[in-house]
């Protein structure tokens, strides 16, 4: 399974990719960023790559090192806003997402995640007053999709600034009622398990490396299976869903699915439905850029 954002999303397009870079339009502005998975040649000319971007990300000295994979600075090439907004259309709602240039190459949204937003929105609309937990929630597009679908949402991230960013997205989208938590994800999930709290939906988008607000260490290879086992204890056994997204190089859809199957104790006769695959972007020349692994569980 390979999934792409819908063509109806007018505020984003991947203009070109290749030679370790990607050229993207977010709303009114064009950005050039490193992309290690773009192993092929660019389709546009170098002149196009020089004239089209409003800004280009320049990797720093730590680029490619564990914990500093995306560090660097932005080189402004044409006049542009420091912060700007884009829209994402759902079936009966429109998400408003603020973008900005960060020192870690990110801009506040991962466009390849759009199929996950659609899945979460659709699942929540099918349920009656669902309760959803979004772990490692970043700036909250998935939280907004769940809330727009009618869910009671708990949004958790260890970085207060991005939680504030997510709250601004909620307010601009004209939603309310999301519960904001700044905490270590593992610590929170364990506490929910001890308390016997259950959720109808759980979303996980864990980084390769990270730290909680009190210095707790997260390393994907060492912590992911334990996290999934803890999540299995707080996801309702029937009528629920889970979305796991993985960006770490070296992971595959088969590996992600096996992790979920083992963590949840899913056997051959189980009614649980597991699907896995890749989330990717199509550039304007038809080149497919795979960017993350997704595993979805429906119970």
Do both 252 and 168 map to the same domain?
yes
> In this structure, how many other beta carbons lie within 10 angstroms of the beta carbon of residue 289?
19
Out of 84, 116, 142, a domain closes at 84
Residue 69's pLDDT band (cuts 50, 70, 90): low
Q: What is the pLDDT of residue 250?
A: 83
63 pLDDT above the threshold of 80? no
Which domain does 164 fall in, by range? 106-298
Q: Is the pLDDT of residue 67 over 90?
A: no
CATH number at residue 222: 3.40.50.150
What backbone phi and psi angles, to 5 degrees, belong to 255?
Answer: -65, -45
Per the CB < 8 A criterion, the answer to whether 260 and 295 are in contact is yes
Binned at pLDDT 50, 70 and 90, residue 71 comes out as: confident
Helix (H, G, I), strand (E, B) or coil at 191: helix
Q: Grade residue 66 by pLDDT with cuts at 50, 70 and 90.
A: low
The long-range contacts involving 72-79, CB below 8 angstroms and separated by at least 24 positions, are 72/103, 72/104, 72/105, 73/103, 74/101, 77/53, 78/53, 78/54, 79/54
- pLDDT tens sequence across 42-59: 999 999 999 999 999 999
Q: How far apart are CA 12 and CA 289, in angstroms?
A: 15
Tell whether 75 and 196 lie within a shared domain.
Answer: no
The answer to whether 167 and 157 are in contact (CB under 8 A) is no
Residues in the chain: 299
**H-type alpha helices, the chain:** 46-51, 114-126, 141-148, 160-172, 185-195, 220-232, 253-264
Instruction: Please name which of 50, 56, 39 lies closest in space to residue 105, comparing C-alpha atoms.
Output: 56
User: What digits encode the pLDDT tens for the residues 161-210?
Assistant: 999 999 999 999 999 999 999 999 999 999 999 999 999 999 999 999 88
pLDDT at position 36: 94
What is the torsional sign of CA 137, 142, 145, 149?
A: negative
Same domain for 142 and 210, yes or no, is yes
Task: Say which range, 27-36, 106-115, 193-202, 263-272, has the weakest mean pLDDT.
Answer: 263-272
Q: Report if residue 99 sits inside a domain.
A: no
**For the chain, how many structural domains are there in total?**
2
Same domain flag for 110 and 80 = no
Mean pLDDT across 101-128: 96
Please state the rounded mean pLDDT for residues 36-45: 97
**For 13-22, 133-142, 203-212, 272-281, which range has the lowest pLDDT when averaged over its residues?**
203-212
Residue 106 token pair: 């990110």
Nearest to 139 by CA among 121, 159, 125, 123: 159
Q: How high is the mean pLDDT of the chain?
A: 94
Residue 167 lies in a domain: yes
Q: Is 94 among the domain residues?
A: no
- Strand, helix or coil for residue 171: helix
Instruction: Determine the Cα–Cα distance for residues 267 and 78; give it in Å rounded to an integer.
Output: 56
Is-contact 296 266, C-beta < 8 A?
no
- Beta carbons of 95 and 142 less than 8 angstroms apart: no
* Domain containing residue 26: CATH number: 2.60.40.1180
Q: What is the largest CA-CA distance in the chain?
A: 60
Q: Is residue 117 part of a domain?
A: yes
Residue 111: how many CB atoms within 10 A of its CB?
A: 22
Are residue 287 and residue 177 in the same domain, yes or no? Answer: yes
On whether residue 13 sits in a domain, the answer given is yes
Do 12 and 140 belong together in one domain?
no
pLDDT at 87 over 60: yes
Report yes or no on 251 lying in a domain. Answer: yes
Q: What is the pLDDT of residues 207-263, one digit of tens each?
A: 998 888 888 888 999 999 999 999 999 999 999 999 999 997 789 999 999 999 999
Q: Is the dihedral of CA 156, 162, 164, 169 positive or negative?
A: negative
Residue 178 lies in a domain: yes
Residue 264 tokens, joined: 């949840």
Instruction: Based on the fold, state whether residues 78 and 214 are members of the same structural domain.
Output: no
Strand partners, 56: 32, 75
Residue 2 lies in a domain: no
- Predicted pLDDT of residue 271: 87
pTM higher than the cut 0.85: yes
pLDDT of residue 213: 86
Q: 147 and 21, same structural domain? A: no
């Amino acid at each position: 399974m390979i999934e792409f954002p819908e063509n109806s999303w007018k505020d984003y397009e991947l203009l070109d990719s290749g030679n370790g870079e990607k050229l993207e339009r977010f709303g009114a502005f064009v950005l050039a960023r490193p992309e290690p998975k773009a192993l092929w040649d660019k389709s546009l000319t170098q002149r196009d790559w020089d004239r089209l971007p409003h800004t280009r990300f320049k990797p720093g000295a730590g680029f490619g090192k564990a914990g500093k994979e995306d560090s660097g600075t932005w080189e402004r090439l044409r006049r542009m806003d420091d912060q700007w907004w884009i829209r994402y259309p759902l079936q009966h709602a429109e998400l408003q997402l603020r973008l900005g240039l960060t020192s870690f190459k990110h801009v506040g949204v991962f466009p390849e995640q759009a199929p996950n937003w659609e899945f979460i929105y659709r699942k929540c609309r099918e349920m009656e007053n669902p309760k959803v937990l979004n772990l490692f929630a970043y700036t909250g597009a998935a939280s907004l999709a769940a809330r727009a679908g009618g869910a009671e949402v708990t949004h958790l991230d260890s970085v207060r600034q991005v939680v504030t960013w997510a709250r601004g997205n909620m307010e601009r989208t004209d939603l309310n009622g999301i519960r904001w938590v700044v905490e270590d994800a593992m610590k929170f999930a364990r506490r929910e398990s001890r308390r016997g709290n259950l959720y109808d939906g759980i979303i996980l988008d864990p980084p390769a490396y990270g730290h909680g607000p009190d210095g707790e260490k997260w390393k994907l290879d060492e912590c992911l299976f334990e996290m999934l086992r803890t999540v299995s204890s707080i996801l309702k056994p029937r009528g629920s869903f889970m979305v796991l997204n993985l960006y770490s190089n070296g992971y595959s859809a088969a590996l992600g699915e096996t992790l979920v199957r083992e963590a949840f104790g899913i056997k051959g006769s189980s009614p649980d439905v597991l699907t896995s695959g890749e989330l990717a972007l199509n550039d304007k020349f038809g080149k497919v850029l795979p960017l993350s692994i997704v595993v979805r569980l429906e119970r």
